[in-house]
Structure 1
Amino acid sequence: MGKKKLKVIKIGGNIIDDQMKLKDFLKSFAKLKGPKILVHGGGKLASKMAKKMNVPVEMIEGRRVTNAETLDIITMVYAGKINKNIVAQLQANNCNTIGFSGADGNTIIAKKRPVNEIDYGFVGDIVKVEVSVIKLLLINNLSILFCAISHDRKGQLFNTNADTIASELAIALSKDFEVELYYCFEKNGVLKDIHDDSSVIEKIDQKNYITFKEQGIISDGMIPKLDNCFYALEKKVKKICIGKPEMLFDKNIKFTKIHK
């Protein structure tokens, strides 16, 4: 008997920030058959909360500098407000789900990002994903919702990139499942022209990825996302796609598939 298919899906902040979009997505997610894991961030909501509490928001190249106050806000917003609201909505759609941070079940262990030129504060780089609890829940037909928080097994929580959490979960679980990794955001996929939503690059492999980077077609925040994707493919993740959430449910929609 072959391995069971497992979908690991990461949803971007633009879906979380729009109540109607989120509601529609969760209704569809609940209907997906088989084992599934959903990963979310929530950076915009955390930034809004920080402004309300007069805590400065510091971003360097799209990455949040996380001091102790910011970490408190992120924990409240990610592991609390967003995570539990999504769990409640999934329960309303008959999708039995458990909400996790990386500390729950000792699932995602990280270390503090070393200080080179920049001190990112309480930002964690993942060291290990413990799959035993995750597998137990998936085998018993529970869906899992992860927020973008890890821990160090010494009592310290860390803010951790949600894309990385999704890819590390996919990699760790690929020993036991045939894993498909989906990055869902507001665009139709990776675009040739950022201003033209129909200019989807439907297939990216390592060869044309280098060319697209040289030509400046792929740049900025898309580079770490795609680097993550190629790393996950090398580590036996079966299938990786980037695009709108509709790609999960609609066979006719265009999106980007990452190939070796």
Structure 2
Amino acid sequence: MDRLTIIKVGGKVVEEPESLNALLDQFDHISGNKLLVHGGGRTATEVAKKLGIETKMVEGRRITDADMLEVVTMVYGGLVNKRIVAGLQSRGMNAIGLTGADLDLIKAHKRPVKDIDYGFVGDVDDVNPAELRLLINENVVPVIAPLTHDGKGHLLNTNADTIASELASELSNYYSVYLFYCFEKRGVLVDPDDESSVIYDLDLALFNQYKNEGVISDGMIPKLENGFRAKMKGVKEILITNPENIATGRGTRLV
């Protein structure tokens, strides 16, 4: 099968022009088919603050009421997405910005209320990659924003790591998929303040141990949970790293 590289970018990397440009330069050098999934949570938080809308987070997941849904739709589907698309076009890559609603790409349902009401947050039900594959096979680079739809006219905020994992899992039926979770750190760190404390090989048992001990916490938890899920569904390789190490393949490898 042909290789497909999926880069999920978030954190400071996607928020700051200098780091985003460095990421896009590295992305440009990846050969073969490629796809980019992005976050943009910090920008959404900043825009919400300017609009007087409070941001609430639980274990790295954003509580999304009706006002916050409007903010993330504007920021993820508009500002951040089109900045990346423009940056790729400037490097000679023909890119298209999409959400899960476009091409009926990703359907989801509103997360049921259990202990926490996450509001308009979507849990993925179905990925429909047919048209996406046509784009990829024509050397178009899809840039996917973390928004889905329920098929009834409603948009839902969906974790970008989940989007990347679900797309990688489904597309692994058609390509040899390499999934890179890319952010500002060199990988998953034992000590967040020590860049040399990278965990180079991480299996599920060690992940659960570190999670219980609080070594791995907050937004890293859904990232790794989604990564392991994708690995079990046939994704060839999953790496958590920073832009500089996309080419070297160094970082935290899920095994």
**Shared fold (TM-score greater than 0.5)?**
yes
Please classify the TM superposition score into its range, dividing by the shorter chain length: over 0.9
TM (norm. structure 2) is 0.95
For residues 164-203 of structure 1, what are the structure 2 equivalents within 5 Å? 164-203=162-201
Looking at structure 1, the residues matched to 218 and 11 of structure 2 have their Cα atoms a distance apart, in angstroms, of: 17
Q: How is 1:58-207 mapped onto 2 (pairs within 5 angstroms)?
A: 58-207=56-205
Q: Shift in Å at residue 215 of structure 1?
A: 4.4
Find the counterpart in structure 2 of residue 208 from structure 1. 206
Q: Are the equivalent residues in 1 in contact too, given 2:60–2:222 (CA < 8 A)?
A: no
One-letter code of the match for 1:158? L
Query: 1 CA distance for matches of 2:190 and 2:24?
Result: 29
Secondary structure of 1:115's aligned partner:
coil
Is residue 256 from structure 1 mapped to residue 249 from structure 2 by the alignment?
no
On the 8 A contact 1:8/1:36 being kept in 2, the answer is yes
User: Runs in 1 of length 4+ with deviation above 4 angstroms?
Assistant: none
* Partners of 1:13 and 1:40 within 8 A in 2: no
Is the CA contact 1:103–1:151 (under 8 Å) kept in the aligned structure 2?
Answer: yes
Work out the CA distance in 1 between the residues paired with 2:214 and 2:82: 40
Cα deviation digits, residues 64-101 of structure 1 (max 9, x gap): 11111111111111101111111111101001011000
Residues 209 and 107 of structure 1: CA distance in aligned 2, closer, same or farther (over 3 Å)? same
Q: Describe the SS at the equivalent of 2:221.
A: helix
Residue 191 of structure 1 and its aligned partner are, at CA, apart by 1.2
* Residue-pair matches, total: 255
* CA distance, structure 2, for counterparts of residue 247 and residue 71 of structure 1: 34
Separation in 2 of the partners of 1:107 and 1:72?
20
Deviations 1:151-177 (Å, cap 9, x if unpaired)? 011100000000000000000100000
Counterpart for residue 55 of structure 2: 57
1:34 maps to what in 2? 32
Q: Is the 8 A contact 2:22 2:243 kept in 1?
A: no
For 1:105, the aligned partner's letter is: L
What is the correspondence of 1:221-236 to structure 2 with a 5 Å cutoff?
Answer: 221-236=219-234
Give secondary structure in 2 for the equivalent of 1:51: helix
CA contact 1:8–1:181 (8 Å) conserved in 2? yes
User: How far, CA to CA, are the matches of 2:29 and 2:147 in structure 1?
Assistant: 27
2:12 corresponds to which residue?
14
SS across alignment from 2:74: helix
Q: Which amino acid aligns with 1:106?
A: D
Deviation at 1:59, TM superposition (A): 2.0
Partner secondary structure for residue 89 of structure 1? helix
Shift of 1:30: 2.0
Q: Are the equivalent residues in 2 in contact too, given 1:149–1:157 (CA < 8 A)?
A: yes
Q: Give the alignment's Cα RMSD to 1 decimal.
A: 1.4
TM-score normalised by length of structure 1: 0.94
Structure 2: 5+ residue stretches without partners: none
Unpaired stretches in structure 1, ≥5 consecutive residues:
none
Q: 1:63 to 1:213 in 2, by over 3 A?
A: closer
Give the 3-state SS of the residue equivalent to 1:193 in structure 2.
Answer: coil
Superposed displacement of residue 218, structure 1: 2.8
Structure 1 counterpart of 2:237 = 239
Could you tell me how far 1:43 is from its partner in structure 2?
0.8
Question: Which residue identity is paired with 1:257?
Answer: R
